[in-house]
């Protein structure tokens, strides 16, 4: 996990496009907030692999959002239950319920529906916020960190260079 | 295109396909193991004891499931398998799987064996909650002594005394009725009035045709009046004679009743106390059959009882081992989540196979709208010539379960069955052929059943016995080669009442009565004396009342009748002569 975090920090400082990192985070939002063993996560996996989304960003964000989901499940349940028992939507849900294969998506499960609705609602804002955040990090935080004397001293250290070399070799394998 | 290329990762498609192949391949590789674990886990939770499965083979095209080496532990005997199935095949309908339904169109269970031994205990580490055992079966030794006469009289309302009292009451009512009727009949004053009218006619000297005719008319009227009253009295005498005869008959019966009642009571108590031995010997066997049946019923019933209500409205049910809830909506073509439409089952038995089919196995018969039914038949078995079992678990209306079973064993061989171990009369059924039929049903929370057991070619062996009565029973049993037993079962399934009767009761009862002859005679005499003493008063009252009716009322009627007869004779003599010109009065 630490290694993953290190890779993520390195990624933030790399030349990788902020949009790719943000896409990874946005897809992780859906995969992390909703129960993993759901059919819609196959689509998330497909998008993750086919689109140029950043995998490291996805993995780190997925871990974060899974933790959030653990805490937010009661709220997802309440939202899902409200939606599934809303009289105005009963006909729609009944129609879906009777479509062969639709029950395999477990849309009629309160947490699945509640978390899916929340994640779909947040996916675009989170993507935009992530792009902005990466840019802001690179422009303000990263430049200051690099300018710090401690950083320059560390970079000049032999041990640091040896560790960095070893790290890069490890990354390559 | 360049922009699209910047967004897409062509290798990703390959990666996705590889990932899919890995997922599907993994499922195919591990599906068998997952299915095996699922069957074991779900089966164990249902049965309350270990369910082991040798192997599971999940087929995809077409969907199917083959289970090999299924062993279901008997929760009451962990070293025994309640049922073992060598191989079972299930053809699964594909379309319902898309809606999360597991529907088996046809199943075949081969090599089913019951009660096989296990090498390792099938008890769960954590013992399942102990079920409350039935307290409905109790066996007590029959009373081998005659009860006290006073105790018998205390427990039994005496019909002979009641009959005598009723007769006395009836006679009192009859006497009042007859006295009232006597008031309405002609008395001495009426006779005197007739006599006066006769004298008046005698004194007349009619002159002319007119007067003669008037006198004749009066004479005619007088004669009719006397005849009418005489008829009334004769009818009353006839009715009284009939009543008195009937009451005398009843009085005679009432006088004889105490002796008959004493004899009847003595015989009955001898029969109940001593002759009930026959049912006693066979009752444990019958109760054993009922108990075994109920054990299986209680084991199967909870599984089929999980009938879910499915109405037109959406329902919310909390799934196990998960947070959140599943909301169910009305279905266009509702199907249970688990259904086996038709299962062919071959149960291995000694010397042959019992084959049959089970239909509509489901946890939601209310949704299916049809009950679970089963029918099995086997013949030429080592232990029975013919076996037939059929019945149903009807939970279509979960609030009103109606289950039924018909079971018939014909030509079953029974050997060395200990009927009474130890006790006053140790008995073993050494050899016999048995026919057994059981009809049972459950409705409104209670079970009701009838069991008929017929033994032919029976040979009873009796151990060492002491005492005249026990010896008589032993000798009687040795001479019995055929017997029938009937049992009625009723009550709640967990504590039913079993009432058993057998024709052995009569055989043994007669033998015991013969052995206890002197004591029985003494009891009869004592009862007769005591009952006669109690009935003496009412009987005497009744006899006196009959005498009174005959003497007093009968005497009064006879006196009036005689008086009228005499008056009529005198009138004929006095008025029947010539009143002039050759004419006579009509007497």
Q: Is A108 in contact with B326 (Cβ distance < 8 A)?
A: yes
| Of A173, A49, A150, A12, nearest in space to B11 by CA | A49
CB B447 within 8 A of CB B301: no
* Owner of token pair 């005591």: B530
Residue A52 and residue B9: Cβ atoms within 8 Å? yes
Of B199-208, B471-480, B521-530, the range with the highest mean pLDDT is B521-530
Identify the top-confidence range among B6-15, B247-256, B458-467: B247-256
Residue B27 has pLDDT above 90, yes or no: no
pLDDT of res. A28: 94
Give me A50's structure tokens: 């086919």
In a domain, B556, yes or no: yes
pLDDT for the residue B322: 45
Picking from B304, B333, B579, B263, the residue whose alpha carbon sits closest to that of residue B442 is B304
Domain annotation covers residue B83: no
Interval B471-478 mean pLDDT? 79
Q: How confident is the model at residue B321 (pLDDT cuts 50, 70, 90)?
A: very low
Answer whether A107 touches B (CB < 8 Å). no
Q: Would the pLDDT of B213 be above 70? A: yes
Q: What's the rounded Cα separation, in Å, for the pair B230 and B573? A: 18
HSE toward the beta carbon, residue B189, CA cutoff 13 A:
3
- Would you call the peptide bond into B62 cis, given omega within 30 degrees of 0 as the criterion? yes
- For the ranges A154-158, B160-164, B227-231, B458-462, the lowest mean pLDDT is seen at A154-158
What's the average model confidence in pLDDT over B255-265? 85
CB B305 within 8 A of CB B395: yes
Summarised one tens digit per residue, pLDDT across range B63-110 is 899 999 999 888 878 888 888 999 999 999 888 888 778 899 999 998
Taking the CA of residue A4 and the nearest CA in chain B, the distance in Å comes to 21
User: What is the average pLDDT score of chain B?
Assistant: 80
Over residues B140-163, the mean pLDDT reads 72
Which of B429, B452, B438, B432 lies closest to B384, judged by CA? B432
Query: Which residue from B minimizes the CA distance to A96?
Result: B329
Give the single-character DSSP code of B86. Answer: E
Burial class (CB in 10 A: 0-12, 13-18, 19+), A46: middle
Which pair of structure tokens corresponds to residue B335? Answer: 């199907």
pTM above 0.80, yes or no: no
Chain-chain contact of A50 with B8 (C-beta, under 8 angstroms): yes
B176 touches chain A (CB under 8 A): no
Q: Given B13, B324, B331, which is nearest A80 (Cβ)?
A: B324
Q: Where does the pLDDT of residue B139 fall: very low under 50, low under 70, confident under 90, or very high at 90 and above?
A: very low
How far out from the chain centre does Cα B161 lie?
33
Nearest to B325 among A81, A90, A97 (CB): A81
- A162 in helix, strand or coil? helix
CB atoms within 10 A of CB B260: 14
Q: What is the mean pLDDT of residues B466-473?
A: 73
Q: Which pLDDT value is given to residue B132?
A: 45
Residue B310 has a pLDDT of 44
Q: How far apart are CA B31 and CA B566, in angstroms?
A: 122
Q: Which of B12, B323, B332 sits opposite A49 (nearest CB)?
A: B12
Q: With beta carbons less than 8 A apart as the criterion, state whether B230 and B564 touch.
A: yes
User: B54, B70 in Cβ contact below 8 A?
Assistant: yes
Q: What is the pLDDT of residues B414-450, one digit of tens each?
A: 888 887 776 677 888 888 898 999 999 988 778 899 9
* CB spacing of A50 vs B95 below 8 angstroms: no
* Residue of chain B minimizing CA distance to A70: B323
Q: How many domains does chain B have?
A: 1
* CB contact (8 A) between residue A45 and residue B12: no
Identity of the residue in A46, A101, A112 whose CB atom sits nearest the CB atom of B16: A46
User: Which structural domain, as residue segments, surrounds residue B185?
Assistant: 149-275+526-584
Structural domain includes residue B401: no
Domain assignment present for residue B535? The answer is yes
| pLDDT of B479 | 82
More confident residue, B298 or A94: A94
User: What pLDDT, on a 0 to 100 scale, did the predictor assign at position A32?
Assistant: 92
Residue A120, chain B, CB below 8 Å: the answer is: no
- Give me the interface pTM, i.e. the ipTM: 0.73
With respect to residue B290, please indicate whether it lies within any of the assigned structural domains: no
C-alpha triplet B387, B392, B397: angle, nearest 5°: 175
Reading the block at residue B230, the tokens are 């005489």
- Percent of residues, chain B, with pLDDT higher than 70: 85
* Exposure class string for A15-30: b at 16+ Cβ within 10 A, else e: ebebbbbbbbbbbbbb
Residue B573 lies in a domain: yes
Which chain A residue has the Cα nearest residue B23? A42
Tell me whether residue B211 is in a domain.
yes
Q: What is the pLDDT along chain A (173 residues), one digit of tens a residue?
A: 666 666 777 777 777 788 889 999 999 999 999 988 888 988 998 898 888 888 888 998 999 999 898 888 889 999 999 999 999 999 999 999 988 888 888 899 999 999 999 999 999 999 999 999 988 888 888 777 777 766 666 666 666 666 566 555 444 33
Query: How big is the A-B interface in CB pairs under 8 Å?
Result: 83
Cβ of B98 and A101 within 8 Å? yes
Quick one: which of B142, B172, B19, B90 has its CA closest to B358? B90
Q: So what's the pLDDT on residue B280? A: 66
B324 Cβ under 8 Å from any chain A Cβ: yes
**Mean pLDDT lowest for which of A52-66, B237-251, B269-283, B566-580?**
B269-283
Q: For residue A100, what are its two tokens?
A: 């062969």
Contact call for A51 and B314, based on CB within 8 A? no
Question: Is there a domain that residue B532 lies in?
Answer: yes
Q: Give the pLDDT confidence of A120-149 residue by residue, as tens digits.
A: 999 999 999 999 998 888 888 877 777 776
């Amino acid at each position: 996990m630490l290694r993953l975090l290190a890779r993520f920090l390195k990624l933030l400082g790399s030349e990788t496009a902020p949009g790719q990192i943000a896409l990874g985070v946005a897809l992780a939002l859906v995969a992390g907030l909703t129960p993993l063993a759901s059919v819609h996560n196959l689509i998330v996996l497909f998008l993750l692999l086919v689109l140029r989304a950043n995998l490291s960003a996805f993995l780190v964000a997925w871990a974060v959002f899974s933790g959030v989901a653990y805490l937010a499940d009661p709220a997802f349940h309440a939202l899902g239950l409200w939606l599934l028992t809303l009289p105005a939507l009963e006909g729609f849900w009944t129609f879906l319920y009777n479509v062969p294969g639709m029950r395999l998506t477990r849309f009629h499960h309160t947490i699945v529906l509640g978390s899916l609705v929340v994640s779909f609602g947040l996916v675009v804002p989170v993507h935009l916020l992530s792009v902005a955040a990466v840019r802001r990090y690179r422009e303000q935080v990263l430049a200051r960190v690099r300018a710090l004397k401690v950083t320059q001293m560390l970079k000049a250290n032999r041990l640091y260079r040896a560790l960095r070399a070893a790290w890069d070799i490890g990354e390559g394998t | 295109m360049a922009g699209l290329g910047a967004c897409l990762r062509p290798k990703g498609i390959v990666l996705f396909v590889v990932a899919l192949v890995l997922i599907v391949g993994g499922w195919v590789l591990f599906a068998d193991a997952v299915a095996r674990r699922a069957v074991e886990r779900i089966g164990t939770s249902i049965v309350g004891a270990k369910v082991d499965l040798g192997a599971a083979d999940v087929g995809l095209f077409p969907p199917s499931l083959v289970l090999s080496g299924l062993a279901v532990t008997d929760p009451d005997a962990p070293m025994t398998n309640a049922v073992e199935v060598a191989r079972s095949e299930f053809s699964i309908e594909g379309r319902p799987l898309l809606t999360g339904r597991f529907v088996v169109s046809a199943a075949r269970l081969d090599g089913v064996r019951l009660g096989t031994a296990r090498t390792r205990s099938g008890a769960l580490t954590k013992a399942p909650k102990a079920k409350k055992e039935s307290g409905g079966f109790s066996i007590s030794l029959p009373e081998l002594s005659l009860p006290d006469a006073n105790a018998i009289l205390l427990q039994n309302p005496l019909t002979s005394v009641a009959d005598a009292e009723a007769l006395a009451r009836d006679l009192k009512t009859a006497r009042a009725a007859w006295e009232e009727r006597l008031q309405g009949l002609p008395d001495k004053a009426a006779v005197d009035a007739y006599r006066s009218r006769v004298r008046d006619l005698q004194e007349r000297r009619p002159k002319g045709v007119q007067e003669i005719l008037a006198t004749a008319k009066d004479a005619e009227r007088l004669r009719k009046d006397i005849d009418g009253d005489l008829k009334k009295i004769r009818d009353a005498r006839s009715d009284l004679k009939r009543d008195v005869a009937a009451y005398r008959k009843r009085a005679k019966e009432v006088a004889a009743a105490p002796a008959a009642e004493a004899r009847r009571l003595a015989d009955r108590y001898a029969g109940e106390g001593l002759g009930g031995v026959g049912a006693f010997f066979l009752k444990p066997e019958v109760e054993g059959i009922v108990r075994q049946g109920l054990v299986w019923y209680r084991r199967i019933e909870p599984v089929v009882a999980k009938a879910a209500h499915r109405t037109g409205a959406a329902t919310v049910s909390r799934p196990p081992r998960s947070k959140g809830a599943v909301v169910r909506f009305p279905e266009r073509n509702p199907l249970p989540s688990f259904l086996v439409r038709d299962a062919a089952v071959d149960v291995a038995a000694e010397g042959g196979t019992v084959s049959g089919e089970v239909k509509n196995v489901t946890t939601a018969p209310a949704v299916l709208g049809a009950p679970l039914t089963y029918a099995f038949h086997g013949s030429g078995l080592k232990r029975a010539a013919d076996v037939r079992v059929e019945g149903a678990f009807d939970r279509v209306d979960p609030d009103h379960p109606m289950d039924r079973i018909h079971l018939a064993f014909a030509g079953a061989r029974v050997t060395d069955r200990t009927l009474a171990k130890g006790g006053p009369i140790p008995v073993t059924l050494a050899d016999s052929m048995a026919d057994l039929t059981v009809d049972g049903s459950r409705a409104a929370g209670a079970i009701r059943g009838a069991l008929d057991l017929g033994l032919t070619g029976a040979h009873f062996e009796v151990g060492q016995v002491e005492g005249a009565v026990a010896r008589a029973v032993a000798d009687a049993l040795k001479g019995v080669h055929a017997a029938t037993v009937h049992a009625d079962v009723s009550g709640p399934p967990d504590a039913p009442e079993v009432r058993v009767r057998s024709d052995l009761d009569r055989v043994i009862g007669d033998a015991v009565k013969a052995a206890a002859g002197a004591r029985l005679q003494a009891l009869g005499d004592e009862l007769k004396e005591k009952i006669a003493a109690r009935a003496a008063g009412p009987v005497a009252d009744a006899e006196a009342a009959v005498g009174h009716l005959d003497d007093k009322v009968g005497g009064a009627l006879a006196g009036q009748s005689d008086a009228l007869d005499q008056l009529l004779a005198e009138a004929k003599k006095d008025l029947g002569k010539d009143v002039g010109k050759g004419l006579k009065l009509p007497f």
